[in-house]
Amino acid sequence: MAAEKKTYAGSCHCGRVRFEVQTDLATVLACNCSYCSRVAHLLTFVPAANFKLLAGEEALAEYLFNRKHIHHQFCSRCGIRAFGYGNGPDGQEMRSVNVRCLDGVDLDALTIAHFDGKNR
Cα 2 to Cα 49: distance, rounded to the nearest angstrom: 20
Give yes or no for a contact between 12 and 55, defined as CB atoms under 8 angstroms apart.
Answer: no
Determine the average pLDDT of the residues in 104-117. 89
pTM: 0.89
pLDDT over 70 percentage in the chain: 96
Which of 28, 29, 23 is closest to 9 using CA atoms?
A: 23
pLDDT (tens digit, 9 = 90+) per residue, 50-71?
999 999 999 999 887 766 678 8
Q: State the pLDDT at residue 1.
A: 45
Domains located in the chain, CATH noted: 6-115 (2.170.150.70)
What amino acid occupies position 33? C
Cα 43 to Cα 54: distance, rounded to the nearest angstrom: 20
